[in-house]
Chain A
Amino acid sequence: MIGVWGAFAGAIVLLLVLLAWVRAEASSKDSCSDWGASEQEQGESVEACSPEIVSQLFSAADSKFISGLESPGLENLFRRERTAVALHWVQETSAFISKVMRRHLEASRLSADLEIATEARIFLQYARLKLYCGILFVLIGLLGPQRLAGTALYPERFIQRVGEGLVEFQLAAQLREPEGSESL
């Protein structure tokens, strides 16, 4: 039957998850956190960057210009600053994705007509995007944002696959969407 060590591991995981749950409950009590209330109080604090800024951030043009000045100190400073900004952008994007998901969960937990397949798909998309943000964060830290443009073939293909899933899902969702709907 269920192996002895499997049962033991399950019990340990249960105790750890219970601990995490108690801590989360305590912290949510401290910050008076029904999602709805906290979001309204905090307002729209996290927004995604515009595509133009993002393009500029990862562009190699600035880097080439600085290299042309032949000043190693300036080049180092530029690289450090640009990497820091790119990392900050990834963090902001990751927070933005989390916020979208939080809002979705807030609505879905109250819905009596929730579809498990749709929820699973949304969660999968969310998990993939978060994972991608994590990978991007590490790659930016290791290679810098400019070099990433050249090595971004795999992530781009990956994103395309996620995008296909998202488009497919959105079409399904829009078919059932009531008229006059508004975005979040």
Chain B
Amino acid sequence: MLGQTIWWSCIALETFLLVRGFAGRLWARYPVFYAYISFVWLQSLLRFSIFHLRPQQYKPVYWITEGLGVLAGCAVVFEIYRVGLAAYPGTARMARNLLGFVSVLALTKALVDTWNDPQWWLIATTMDLERLLRTVQSFAILALVVLFLFYAIPFGRNLRGILLGYGVFVGLSVIQLTFVTDSSSRFHNFWSYASPASYFIVLGVWAVHLWSYFPSPEPKRAVRLEEQYQRVAAATAQRLREARGYLAKGVRS
């Protein structure tokens, strides 16, 4: 009963989010995110129908839609990067390199593991694959958030909500997929309620942050950037050298 209530509440909140997106013209600002929410909304309705009408087909439908959801989630991460760093080409370049590094690292590890154990793909379950993809996704989000923190990129309310909600969702998904392997365990029973409940909270975060459109703050100084940057890079090295000189003098004397 509680599970059904949470399920219906999530569908209602997704519907509300989509309606607010249309009403506030947020669709045009964050098309990928709203396409993702539409997909999740349709997915929820489909799963709900299959669960009641053809329960024997629920499992394959669940895992197929779940896989598609993970891929759609990658597009959401890309949209966060695209919109959040549109006004910051330097940080965007850094982010591209960092995300590229994370992808290459994940790919290399996958290739090495497959080389060492060629049967891996046959043995791995759908849950293993999802955990792997979600983990890579969580590392990509982690890399982005660290960059946002490091460069102090100011975020608008909307984008902050999207990133916060999706980051929490991915983090909790990884935790769930890490521990919920045995369907008869007590943890599985607990998580069967905790997972949809946490998703409901994530939807709540999105609903609050995406109530209406809030633009991201623009950087205040954006003139003669290249020239300024070269000067600042040289001056930074000079000032750090001076600081080093003072430190050296301090310990030498």
Residues of A bordering B, CB below 8 Å: 1-2, 4-8, 10-15, 17-18, 20-22, 24-25, 28, 33-37, 48-49, 51, 54-59, 86, 89, 93, 96-97, 100-101, 103-105, 107-114, 116, 118-119, 122, 125-126, 129, 132-133, 136, 145, 148-149, 152, 155-156, 159-160, 162-163, 166-167, 169-170, 173-174, 176-178, 181-184
B197-230 vs A: 1/0 string, CB under 8 Å? 0000000000000000000010111100111111
A148, B251: Cβ atoms closer than 8 Å: yes
CB of B171 within 8 A of chain A?
A: yes
B230, A110: Cβ atoms closer than 8 Å: no
B247, A14: Cβ atoms closer than 8 Å: no
Docked Cα-Cα span, A129 to B170, in Å, equals: 36
CB of B234 within 8 A of chain A?
A: yes
20 examples of A-B residue contacts, CB within 8 angstroms: A1-B109, A1-B110, A36-B220, A58-B250, A59-B253, A101-B236, A110-B89, A110-B90, A110-B219, A111-B225, A114-B93, A114-B229, A116-B93, A129-B244, A136-B247, A163-B248, A181-B231, A181-B234, A184-B232, A184-B239
Residues of B contacting A155 in the complex (Cβ-Cβ under 8 angstroms): 251
CB of B46 within 8 A of chain A?
A: no
Residues of A contacting B247 in the complex (Cβ-Cβ under 8 angstroms): 93, 129, 132-133, 136, 159
Further 20 A-B residue pairs, CB within 8 A, beyond A17-B145, A112-B93, A114-B94: A1-B120, A2-B135, A11-B138, A11-B171, A14-B139, A15-B172, A18-B164, A35-B152, A49-B246, A57-B253, A100-B239, A105-B150, A105-B151, A107-B228, A108-B232, A109-B151, A114-B89, A163-B241, A170-B238, A177-B230
Q: Across the two chains, which residue of chain B brings its CB closest to A177?
A: B234
Contact among B90, B163, B174 for A109, CB-based, below 8 A: B90
A174, B234: Cβ atoms closer than 8 Å: yes
Docked Cα-Cα span, A162 to B110, in Å, equals: 37
CB of B243 within 8 A of chain A?
A: yes
Docked Cα-Cα span, A65 to B113, in Å, equals: 68
Docked Cα-Cα span, A59 to B251, in Å, equals: 9
B220, A125: Cβ atoms closer than 8 Å: no
Residues of A contacting B168 in the complex (Cβ-Cβ under 8 angstroms): 15, 18
Residues of B contacting A14 in the complex (Cβ-Cβ under 8 angstroms): 138-139, 141-142, 145, 167, 170-171, 174
Determine the main DSSP class of B at the interface with A: helix
Determine the main DSSP class of A at the interface with B: helix
Interface residues on B, range: 35 or more
Residues of B bordering A, CB below 8 Å: 87-91, 93-94, 97, 106, 109-110, 113, 120, 124, 128, 131-132, 134-136, 138-139, 141-142, 145-146, 148-155, 160, 163-164, 167-168, 170-172, 174-175, 177-179, 217, 219-222, 225-253
A105, B249: Cβ atoms closer than 8 Å: no
Looking at A10, A122, A163, the one whose CB has the most chain B CB atoms below 10 A away is A10
Chain A nearest Cβ from B98, distance in angstroms: 9
Residues of A contacting B150 in the complex (Cβ-Cβ under 8 angstroms): 105
Looking at A15, A122, A156, the one whose CB has the most chain B CB atoms below 10 A away is A15
Chain B nearest Cβ from A58, distance in angstroms: 5
Contact among B88, B221, B236, B253 for A55, CB-based, below 8 A: B253
Contact among A11, A59, A176 for B174, CB-based, below 8 A: A11
Docked Cα-Cα span, A101 to B2, in Å, equals: 52
Residues of A contacting B242 in the complex (Cβ-Cβ under 8 angstroms): 48
